[in-house]
A and B are shown apart, each in its own frame.
Chain A
Amino acid sequence: MSGRDRTDGATRASSRPPTDHAGLEVPAPTVAFSAEQLGEVRRLQGLYPDRRAALLPVLHLAQETFGYISLEVERYVAGLFDLTPAHVHEVVTFYTMFFRAPKGRHVVAVCHNLSCHLAGAPAIVAHLQGRLGIHVGETTADGRVTLQSVECLCACEHAPMMQVDDRYEFGLTPEKVDRILEGLR
C-alpha cells in the first residue's frame, strides 16, 4: 500500500488496511515480479521523463507474467509506481488488451469492423463459436481458447482476419480457421 502513503499530500491516507464494503480485510498482495523483472521495471521507468509513463509497458509485463491483471496485480503494480490502486484500475479497465479475468492459453480475436464485416466476419465468428462451443467473450472449458470479436485490427486488405495471440491470420475461411484451431494446444 505504499502507493497510498504519500508524504507530499495535505492529508495522509488512512493507515488501516483497506476493507471491502462488508468490512472484510483484503489480503496483502501475493503476486510479485522476480528480481530480474523488477530490474526491467526500473529500466522501463527510467526510459521516460516521468516514470508513470512505464505503466502500460509494466502492465504488459505483468500480464505476461501473471496471466491476467487481477486486482491483486493492480494493487502490486500501483505500489511499484506510487499510484493508488484506483489509478491503475482506471488504466486497466480503459484498454481492451488487459484481461481482468483468467484467459485461455490462446486468445482468438476476430475483427468485426467494416471491411472484415463486408468480407464475412460474422460468419467467421459464428463458425468459431460453433467449433469452440463458446460465445464471444468466453473461454473454452479446457482453458485452451478465449474468443473475442474486436474492432479494426488494420489488416483490412486481408479481410476477414483475426489475431491469434501475437499473430495476425489473414484471408479466413472456415477451413482455414479449423486448421488454425488445430494448431492451438
Chain B
Amino acid sequence: MTAEKILTRNFERADSHTLTAYLETGGYTAWQKAQTLPPAAITEEVKQSNLRGLGGAGFPTGTKWSFIPKNHTGPVYLVINADEGEPGTFKDRYLLERDPHALIEGMLIAARAIRSATGFVYVRGEYVEPYRRFSTAVSEAYDAGYLGKGFDVVVHRGAGAYICGEETGLISSLEGKKGWPKLKPPFPAIKGAFGAPTIVNNVETICHVPHIITRGAGWFASLGTKTQGGTRMYSVSGRVRRPGVYEASVAITLRRLIDELADGVTGNGRLKAVVPGGASAAILRADEIDVTMDVDGLRNAGTMAGSAGVIVMDETVSIPEALMVVARFYAHESCGQCTPCRESTGWIYKMVRRIVEGRGRKDDLDTILDVARRGAGTTICAFYDGAVGPYISYIEKFRGEFEALIDGAGARVVATPASRAATAHA
C-alpha cells in the first residue's frame, strides 16, 4: 500500500527539478500520449481513475472538468492553486520545488481536456523559492517546446492571504483584486477568471494526471478505495518522531501514517489528538485514528481529508491552547466579506483566548458552540465552515480541559513545552 512512490518518486534526486532529470524518468511521455487522445477521452480517463481534488474539497476532478460548457467558443482558463496555506500542509511546496515539470505536464494534459490555451499558476507569495524553481521549469518547458505551442503558462505570485486558496478567492486575487471569494452561482466552470470558464485545480491533483494517462485509470483507481483512487502526499507534523511528507494510498489508516511512516508519537509518547486534514478538519481523539484517510473515510468519521495535513498532539498538549492558536488564525485570515464569518471569527477568538488566559465564563463554551453552529453554512465560501470544524470538535471532544480552565479561572496551567525551544523561556 505504501510501497510505490508515484508523485514523490524523484524527490531523492538532487536535480529532480530539472528537465533533464524529468525526461530521464519518463517525463512528458504522458503528454505525447495525451496528444493522441480526444479531449473528452482524457476527461473520461480522469473520471474513471477516481482522482479527487487534493487541495481540500475532494471534488472528483474529471467531473469538474466536464462542467466546462461543451459549445463554449471563447477562452477557457486552467488555474493551478499553488496557494498552499492550510496549516499543517506543505506537500505542494515539495512538488513545486522538486518536480515542477510534473505539474507542467499535468497542466498540458488538463488543458487539452478542457480546451484551454492559457494556464495560470497562483503561487503563494511567501513561497519565493518554489516560485523561482517553478518559473525556471516553465522557462525550460518553453525552450524545449512543450509550452508555447497552443498552451501558455503564466506564473503568478500571491501576496499573503489564506483565503486566496479558496478557488474563487484565488480567482479574485488573480484578477488583481482583494481575495474576496465570489458568489456562486455562477460557478467558475461557467464564469471564472476574467469572466471565462475556468477550472481551478490543486498542484498535487494535476501532478497525478500524467501517471493516470500513462498507466491508466484502472491502475490509479486500484491504488485507493472504491470512491477515490491513487495515492496522495500526507504532510505530517506536530508531535511525531519523523515529521515530513509521505506518499501513500488514500486508503492508508491514520494510525499507520502516524506510527509507521512518521515513526510514532513524541512528547510523552502518548497520543492525545490528531488533526487529519489541515487545521480546518475536525480533530480526532486518540481512539478515533483507525480510519482510512480517503475523502469518504474521514467524512464518515466526522472530519475531513482536506489537504491531508496531519498534525499530531501528544498528551502534554493543551487543546484549549491549540484551539486558541487555530482561532487566532481564522480571525486573522477571514477576508471580511460576509458578516457571519467576519464578525464571529474575531469574537470566538476573543472568547477562547479569554478561557486560555484564565478569564473564562461558565457560558462561554456553549456560546462558542452555538455561534459556530449558527454560522455554519451561511457564508459565501467554505472558509467559515472550515473554522467551525475545529471550534466545535475541540470543545466537544475535550470539553473537560476547557471547563478546568474556566473553573480554575486565574490558574493558568497551559504551557506548551517545546522540545527544542523550551530553554528560550529562561
Contacts and interface: CB of A to CB of B under 8 A. Distances in A.
Contacts of A59: 159
A166 B127 CA distance: 8
B227 interface: no
B276 interface: no
Contacts of A47: 154
Interface in B117-133: 118, 124-129
Nearest to B179: A94
A73 to B, nearest CB: 14
Interface string B306-344: 000101010001000110011011001101000000000
Interface residues of A, number: 53
Interface stretch (B53-61, B85-93, B399-407): B85-93
Given A52-B176, A124-B421, A156 B237 contact: yes
Interface string B178-195: 110000000000000110
A152 B322 contact: no
A114 B325 contact: yes
Given A156-B237, A157-B243, 13 more contacts: A47-B154, A91-B178, A94-B178, A94-B179, A94-B335, A95-B179, A112-B325, A114-B326, A115-B311, A123-B423, A151-B333, A159-B237, A174-B421
A50 B178 contact: no
B1 interface: no
B161 A172 contact: no
Contact of A156 (B158, B311, B313): B311
B425 A126 contact: yes
Contact of A123 (B157, B177, B236, B422): B422
A121 B129 CA distance: 23
A13 interface: no
Contact of B126 (A49, A153, A157, A160): A153
B88 A98 contact: no
B411 interface: no
Interface in A125-156: 126-127, 151-156
A115 B90 CA distance: 12
Interface residues of B, number: 68
Q: Which 8 residue pairs spanning A and B have beta carbons closest together?
A: A120-B418, A120-B421, A96-B160, A156-B237, A55-B176, A95-B159, A123-B424, A97-B160
A119 B421 contact: yes
A81 B156 CA distance: 17
B56 to A, nearest CB: 13
A173 interface: yes
A114 to B, nearest CB: 5
A52 B177 CA distance: 8
Contacts of A57: 156-157
Contacts of A168: 129
B421 A155 contact: no
B301 interface: no
B89 A118 contact: no
A95 B158 contact: yes
Given A56-B157, A114-B326, A127 B416 contact: no
A180 interface: no
A96 B421 contact: no
A124 to B, nearest CB: 5
Most buried by B among A55, A157, A159, A160: A157
A53 to B, nearest CB: 5
A80 to B, nearest CB: 12
Contacts of A120: 416-422, 424
Contacts of B238: 114-115, 118-119, 156, 159
Contact of A113 (B87, B92, B154, B159): B87
Most buried by A among B85, B90, B196: B90
